[in-house]
Chains A and B, each alone.
Chain A
Amino acid sequence: MFSRLKFCFLILVISVNLSEQSEQYHEELFIKPLPNGFVNTFFQFTTRWNMASREDLLHTKLTPRPIAEVLYNYDVKELNIALTQGLWRYELWGYPVVDSAPGAEAWAWFNGDNLTESHVSRQWKDLTSTFSGILCASLNNIDEANTVQPKYSFRPRFVAPKNTKSFIKYSTLPRENVCTENLTPWKKLLPCSSEQGFASLLNSGYVHNTNYHSVKVAIRTFQEAKTGELTMELVLSANLVFDPILISSSKDYSIRKIFGQGLNGVCPMSSSSKIYVDITEDKFELVPDSDDVKESTRGASTTKFAIYDMKVISPNDLFNIAFVKKDKQNLVPIIPPPILTAHRYILAKGQEEGKIMTEVTNNHWADLNVVLQENIPWFVPSYMHTLTVKNGNEVLKIKEFHYIPGNDRERPYHLEIAFTVPAKSTVKVYFDFDYIFLKWTEYPPDANHGHYIGSAVVTALLPVAKNYTTIPVEGYLFEHSFNASRPSYFIQIHTESLLLSLPTPDFSMPYNVICLTCTVIALAFGPIHSVTTKILTVDTDGDENKGFIKKVIGKIRDKIKGKKSAPKESVEEKPKSE
């Protein structure tokens, strides 16, 4: 009996060891004190799984089952879903590790044998519906009417067998409110859930006191065409920006203060568990300090990180890092803006017509090539013949132009243009649109709040990596961004989403109108019918032929006139028959 148990245990240990080899889980936390006193925290939970064949997807260990099933059932090779509350302020905060649009944003790459457009559309619909359930978000509202297929803006980050065609689907739901109900199911995708490890810091109550928070699910796959070997990478990331003044009304802060509790050990399933603190600015004294300080030089800008390897420091106990401001003077910092920023707004007076204006600013000393993607919902009829790209008064040349006009209730307006933003200048891109009335059932609840227009996406290759912390495409851990110098740095930034007040009907009006119209039609039908079908004859003494009511009216009229009824001529109007 005992030996059998022992044998079982042995098998268990072996299998665990095996799984550790093929499936790895890493947790990382990146903390960066921002120049304006805010603090950016970025959690990344990475699961990487090498498997011999696709069938292995059905036997999950660290990877959540629903995600593996999605990969198994659909031809999706890369999937990104982000739920974001608030807006990333590039001017003040630099660039985030992972950028996402306000509200919900989703895009996926599909690749497979004999895949057709209609297959992809159906799979996309199924996929978003599935994730709607997994993340408790309204992703099921994604359909053909708000999905576009970017041509230039998005690049695949997966590897697929050669000679196959890839399809992309991109959609945003700017109205989506991101809340605790999304965070809880998101945390459940983690191997340790929120019990242990870095995820224990994500307390709902504190997460929603942030100025910006974004949770993201990113999946990508690498497949060898010959061997059929498959690597799956699941990255769950959360990006939170705190304002210490709102939390503790002082400029000092600590992990415990901003998250509500200290770090509760590490996740036992994890292969690595590290905290990176950006100490380039050196404004804070870290308590406890870290001995492991690394310098990363990337694209001519050097960043210093203090690294806390939690597996070594405190695998089981509560842990806290305090940030104490060194310089107590109340100085207002001058923050140099990042190289590329973008803003968008509506220009309109009244509710008849307006302009959607996107400003792309290049603060660099050299020209920058950018691709701008506009995804305008169908209820904002836009006129692309009015599209203007201007730098000051100079009209710029559009290098690439991709435009799919929208169609009411079926397809959004999708515009992608490539142009060069000259050095140290702001390019304005604008076009006209009309305000329209929708069908009265198409207004959302709280119709007078307005309709949202999703953010525009600006894509560029930056020449320098200032403020740039994105992990390179071949890497998957935060530390892979260290010293990762490249000729250029791919960046995608999002503008604000817009709130558009469409003219709204008075919603009690349809009822009134229906009642009134019915009454009027009912009352008018009889007389109009008789006028148009009968010959009018004014009768003098035909009282016998009159109806009851007319008799009564006639009598009353006679009485009023004092029974002075003068004989009238009988007039007959004959229909013209000639």
Chain B
Amino acid sequence: MGILTDPSLSSNDGGIVKVLAQHKKKICFLLYIASLGWFCCLGMSDFNHSAYLSENALSPGLVYTEITRDSEKLAQQYHTEFLHERENHKGTPIPWILAKMKQIGLETHTHNYTLNYPFGGGKVFTGTNIYGILRAPRIGSTEGIVYSAPFRPKDSLEADISASIPILLAFAESARRKNYWAKDFIFLVTDNEQLGIQAWLEAYHLGGLQNDQGILNSGSLPARAGALQAALNLEIQGMELDYINVKVEGLNGGLPNLDYFNLVQRITAKERISAGYKQTAGKMKYTTHSTKIEDNLKHILSMILTQANCVPTGNHGLFHQYRIEALTLQGIKAKSSHQRAGVLSVLKSIEGISRSLNNLLEKFHQSFFFYILVHNDRFISIGDYMPCAILFVAVFFIKSFLMWHDLNKKVDKWNDDIYDKKCEGEVLEIHYMQSIVAFACAIGLGLSLNFVCKNGAVSEFFAVKFGFTTENTVAIVILCFVLVGLIFPFLFKFDELELKVLQIGSQIFVGCVLLTVSLLNFSLGFLLGIFLTPLGIFNEVGQNKVMKYLNSLYIILCHPVLVIYYFAVAITEQNFDNLAFKDFIEKVFMAFSNIATYGVVDNLIYGNWMFSITTLALFPAWILYFSANLRDWALSGSSRKVKVE
């Protein structure tokens, strides 16, 4: 507690501050390296933990599964019928599914929703979800579990998952005959991929009363089953499976409770199905001891890359926003005749998972909600990975503290000189006004970009006047704003002190954004940190020229739009080989505008943060850094007013 009374901190030339100020570059660089180093260490078994179940109520595999060969036969029969129906029926075979659910004895309902596409002149899409509720005998409909299976038409670009609905129905049929269920089961068939499930969840939890009725009009549901405790999404590709891939990443990088993932691991292991996170054909289960750090790091990185783009990997991902634990079982069809898992073992796994979930007295609250999977049975908890983000963020705060300290010292010294030594000159004061205005303008620019992109009227205007497509409009709007951002620094004239204040502000802003993002979605925060931290390290007024050049170059390369552009190039490169340069540029532009438009649409319909973070945080931050850098050049060019003596 000496820290409170230690005069070295409050005085100007204190020990710690002095050391920090002397070696700030080194220290900041060291922090950056330390963060990366810590991240690499996460692959070592000392830095991660082996999986365990916290919630005792789950007790996986405690009961004998009761599902029989009859259910398997039924599933096969349903499958044949389903394929036939899908062949003859355009869209979801609603009557067939309804009939089957009714026969089983479920309470069946349909849910219609409408999407008024925000762009492109008011296109309207409609869809229908079908659901059947198995009312649990032991409860008064206060709690429920959702089993969902998306319907995919035959001509879908995605993998065929025709076995999902038959397996769902076969499980419903067997569950109907049991009297021990203590949570209502909702068997849900959705269409239009993630749109269907989003509409259904909105209807369930918001009941058509939300203010923003304009875009996704989800309405309300005719029947409900109380508070939803968990959800299981099935994407089963065929009746004979090779392995099961468990998908966890949800919207904005949300993850299901680790207990749920572990439960699925245990149950599938018991049923002798090869299953796991990012499972591949060759991967074996439980091989931790032989895995090397490189393999672990690769696994971690692949999870980070998936999680960082904020897009759910399956229908489960949209449940997380309502705090319903959910994941997807993606059954991969066996390619060879050597089949590893049949329908019966899948059904048994589903039954095992259900019975464990049925045991839950409290909703998932133990174990971890923030984690990174190193392996199917090893994970890194939030406490272990957060140091990476903290070290990144520390750079910004240390730098801004030192700048602030420096600034005050300079001003005090100057003023003291005037008073004590009767030097000539005016009293030096820090003018905050212009910096604050600049800061506010940058944020305002971001806000207006956000608003203009999301506003359907703008795209309508362009579409009507110039015949642009939505994608082109969005791209053009973004480019316009980028141009404004480039002109931005020339609108203000800062002196050195104001520039410093601006820099301090932007450092703190980026630090806060980084900290928040990495708490909520570590993967995104970490990736941003890798790119943004060097900005924080090098950003300083009055450096030598080489550093300044490097800094400018880095700032320009780091422009958010350019970063999206790199991705577009990478995607185009990957998808099309041997394109002529002109075609290539065209394709890249298309890819870029597609990425931007998807960002906007995802933000509008699903509430994806990516677009908001880019427009409201990254874009203004870039403008601020760019301005500071550019004005710094201008200042060093002209004679410095402040340096009189």
A interface residues (Cβ-Cβ under 8 A, vs B)? 36-37, 84-87, 89, 91-92, 102-103, 209-211, 243, 245-246, 249, 330, 332, 343, 345-351, 355, 357, 430, 446-450, 452, 496-501, 504, 523-524, 526-528, 530-531, 536, 538
The 5 closest A-B pairs by CB, nearest first: A87-B140, A448-B362, A102-B140, A499-B142, A448-B365
Q: Is B581 an interface residue (CB 8 A)?
A: no
Q: A211-B137, A245-B105 are in contact. Are A527 and B1 (CB under 8 A)?
A: yes
Instruction: Assess whether B177 is in contact with A249, with CB atoms less than 8 Å apart.
Output: yes
**CB-nearest residue of chain B to A504:** B365
Q: Is B205 an interface residue (CB 8 A)?
A: yes
How many B residues, CB 8 Å from partner?
A: 37
Instruction: Assess whether A347 is in contact with B140, with CB atoms less than 8 Å apart.
Output: no
- State in angstroms the CA–CA spacing of A249 and B209 once bound together: 43
Instruction: Assess whether B1 is in contact with A523, with CB atoms less than 8 Å apart.
Output: yes
A-B pairs with beta carbons under 8 Å apart, 6 shown? A89-B135, A210-B137, A348-B205, A355-B207, A448-B363, A536-B5
B residues 157-211 near A (Cβ < 8 Å) are 176-179, 205-207, 209
Instruction: Assess whether A524 is in contact with B205, with CB atoms less than 8 Å apart.
Output: no
Q: 1/0 contact trace for B140-167 toward A, CB 8 Å?
A: 1111000000000000000000000000
CB distance from A208 to the nearest CB of B (A): 9
Task: Pick from A86, A246, A357, A531: contact of B140, CB below 8 A.
Answer: A86
Instruction: Assess whether A243 is in contact with B362, with CB atoms less than 8 Å apart.
Output: no
Task: Pick from B107, B143, B321: contact of A499, CB below 8 A.
Answer: B143
CB distance from A564 to the nearest CB of B (A): 14
- State in angstroms the CA–CA spacing of A496 and B363 once bound together: 19
Task: Pick from A430, A449, A536, A538: contact of B209, CB below 8 A.
Answer: A430
Give the residues in chain A near B207, CB-CB below 8 Å: 345, 347, 355, 357
Give the residues in chain B near A249, CB-CB below 8 Å: 177
B interface residues (Cβ-Cβ under 8 A, vs A)? 1-2, 4-5, 7, 99, 102-103, 105, 107, 135, 137-143, 176-179, 205-207, 209, 223-224, 226-227, 321-323, 361-363, 365
Q: A332-B102, A357-B207, A527-B1 are in contact. Are A86 and B139 (CB under 8 A)?
A: yes
CB distance from A493 to the nearest CB of B (A): 14
Task: Pick from A84, A86, A92, A355: contact of B107, CB below 8 A.
Answer: A92
Task: Pick from A357, A447, A497: contact of B362, CB below 8 A.
Answer: A447
Give the residues in chain A near B322, CB-CB below 8 Å: 349
Give the residues in chain A near B135, CB-CB below 8 Å: 87, 89, 211
Instruction: Assess whether B176 is in contact with A497, with CB atoms less than 8 Å apart.
Output: no
Task: Pick from A343, A349, A355: contact of B321, CB below 8 A.
Answer: A349
Of B1, B137, B178, B322, most buried by chain A (CB within 10 Å of CB) is: B137
Q: A86-B140, A430-B209 are in contact. Are A498 and B365 (CB under 8 A)?
A: no
Instruction: Assess whether B365 is in contact with A209, with CB atoms less than 8 Å apart.
Output: no
Give the residues in chain B near A452, CB-CB below 8 Å: 142
Instruction: Assess whether A524 is in contact with B1, with CB atoms less than 8 Å apart.
Output: yes
Give the residues in chain A near B321, CB-CB below 8 Å: 349
Q: A347-B206, A501-B227 are in contact. Are A86 and B143 (CB under 8 A)?
A: no
- State in angstroms the CA–CA spacing of A202 and B227 once bound together: 32
Give the residues in chain B near A530, CB-CB below 8 Å: 5
Instruction: Assess whether B209 is in contact with A86, with CB atoms less than 8 Å apart.
Output: no
- State in angstroms the CA–CA spacing of A173 and B4 once bound together: 54
Give the residues in chain B near A346, CB-CB below 8 Å: 227
CB distance from B11 to the nearest CB of A (A): 9
Give the residues in chain B near A84, CB-CB below 8 Å: 140
Instruction: Assess whether B141 is in contact with A527, with CB atoms less than 8 Å apart.
Output: no
Instruction: Assess whether B137 is in contact with A497, with CB atoms less than 8 Å apart.
Output: no
Give the residues in chain A near B142, CB-CB below 8 Å: 102, 452, 496-499
Give the residues in chain B near A357, CB-CB below 8 Å: 207, 209
Of A246, A349, A504, most buried by chain B (CB within 10 Å of CB) is: A349
- State in angstroms the CA–CA spacing of A496 and B138 once bound together: 14
Instruction: Assess whether B226 is in contact with A536, with CB atoms less than 8 Å apart.
Output: no
Give the residues in chain B near A36, CB-CB below 8 Å: 105
- State in angstroms the CA–CA spacing of A209 and B177 once bound together: 12
- State in angstroms the CA–CA spacing of A346 and B143 once bound together: 12
**CB-nearest residue of chain B to A390:** B209
- State in angstroms the CA–CA spacing of A212 and B417 once bound together: 88
Instruction: Assess whether A446 is in contact with B226, with CB atoms less than 8 Å apart.
Output: no
- State in angstroms the CA–CA spacing of A343 and B7 once bound together: 68
Task: Pick from B143, B205, B362, B363: contact of A347, CB below 8 A.
Answer: B205
Give the residues in chain A near B107, CB-CB below 8 Å: 91-92
Instruction: Assess whether B363 is in contact with A245, with CB atoms less than 8 Å apart.
Output: no
Task: Pick from A243, A449, A526, A527: contact of B361, CB below 8 A.
Answer: A449
Give the residues in chain B near A209, CB-CB below 8 Å: 137, 179
Give the residues in chain B near A343, CB-CB below 8 Å: 223-224
- State in angstroms the CA–CA spacing of A40 and B207 once bound together: 33
CB distance from A214 to the nearest CB of B (A): 11
- State in angstroms the CA–CA spacing of A102 and B178 once bound together: 22
Task: Pick from B1, B137, B209: contact of A246, CB below 8 A.
Answer: B137
Instruction: Assess whether A243 is in contact with B137, with CB atoms less than 8 Å apart.
Output: yes
Give the residues in chain A near B1, CB-CB below 8 Å: 523-524, 526-527
CB distance from B163 to the nearest CB of A (A): 25
**CB-nearest residue of chain B to A496:** B141
Give the residues in chain B near A351, CB-CB below 8 Å: 323
- State in angstroms the CA–CA spacing of A346 and B7 once bound together: 57
Of B142, B177, B226, B322, most buried by chain A (CB within 10 Å of CB) is: B142
Instruction: Assess whether A531 is in contact with B362, with CB atoms less than 8 Å apart.
Output: no
Give the residues in chain A near B140, CB-CB below 8 Å: 84-87, 102-103, 496-497
